[in-house]
Amino acid sequence: DAKTTQPTSMDCAEGRAANLPCNHSTISGNEYVYWYRQIHSQGPQYIIHGLKNNETNEMASLIITEDRKSSTLILPHATLRDTAVYYCIVLTGTASKLTFGTGTRLQVTL
Amino acid sequence: EPEVTQTPSHQVTQMGQEVILRCVPISNHLYFYWYRQILGQKVEFLVSFYNNEISEKSEIFDDQFSVERPDGSNFTLKIRSTKLEDSAMYFCASTLRLVTNEKLFFGSGTQLSVL
């Protein structure tokens, strides 16, 4: 599975959009970009995933560049409850396991 | 939304003792996993389980570890003789299929403390 690079930490004001970047320059054609998050001491939680096209669900939007070498997770209106570590993971669609990196620690502040 | 449930939430044991961590995956799911997270470190894959057998395991998952699905609902992780370094949060996860658009559902974890 391709390696990903994320900033260690980010801050965001409550109510503003949080834009979390991820670099995955070695991604291959059949690999998907997945995002999970882990709120303090809880189990990881799935957010969204995509292959080529931008995706949106009730939690977030995922923007993938045309060359697929990077992506951005967007939380449109961050709340305090979005404070968590966000993991960008690249893997094939039938991968049997997730490999977590260190992620981005997002702190949402008043 | 359906949930993966784990019991107990906290487990304290003496070094050398056996522990069993219990999980109830989502009822129609077919693939089951254990992950662990040592305090301050990454979430690490331990083992995946499908059709009553291990499908993949990591180097961490040595002979001291075993998994079992003793009935139609429970999925357990046993550590035969615990060591201090087994102290971690253990997460169970499940998914319905290994295809695109499937997501892993994680439980809230069992905090294991080995003294």
Q: Which of chain A's residues have a Cβ under 8 Å away from the Cβ of B40?
A: none
How far apart (Å, rounded) are the C-alpha atoms in residues A34 and A27?
12
The enclosing H or E element of A49 equals: strand A45-50
Summarize pLDDT for B49-82 with one digit per residue, the tens: 999 999 999 999 999 999 999 887 899 999 999 9
- Which string of DSSP letters, residue by residue, matches B34-86? EEEE-TTS-EEEEEEEETTEEEEE-TT--TTEEEE--SSS-EEEEESS--GGG
B87 band by pLDDT with thresholds 50, 70 and 90: very high
Summarize pLDDT for A17-58 with one digit per residue, the tens: 999 999 999 998 888 999 999 998 899 999 999 999 899 999
Average pLDDT over residues A53-82: 96
CA distance A102 to chain B (A): 6
Strand partners, A55: A62
3-state secondary structure of A98: coil
Residues 6+ apart with CB under 8 A from A25: A69, A70
Nearest to A82 by CA among A110, A52, A54, A102: A110
Q: Which of chain B's residues have a Cβ under 8 Å away from the Cβ of A99?
A: 45
Closest residue of chain A to B50, computed from CA coordinates? A96
Q: Please give the pLDDT value at position A91.
A: 85
CA distance B14 to chain A (A): 23
Residue entry with tokens 């201090």: B84
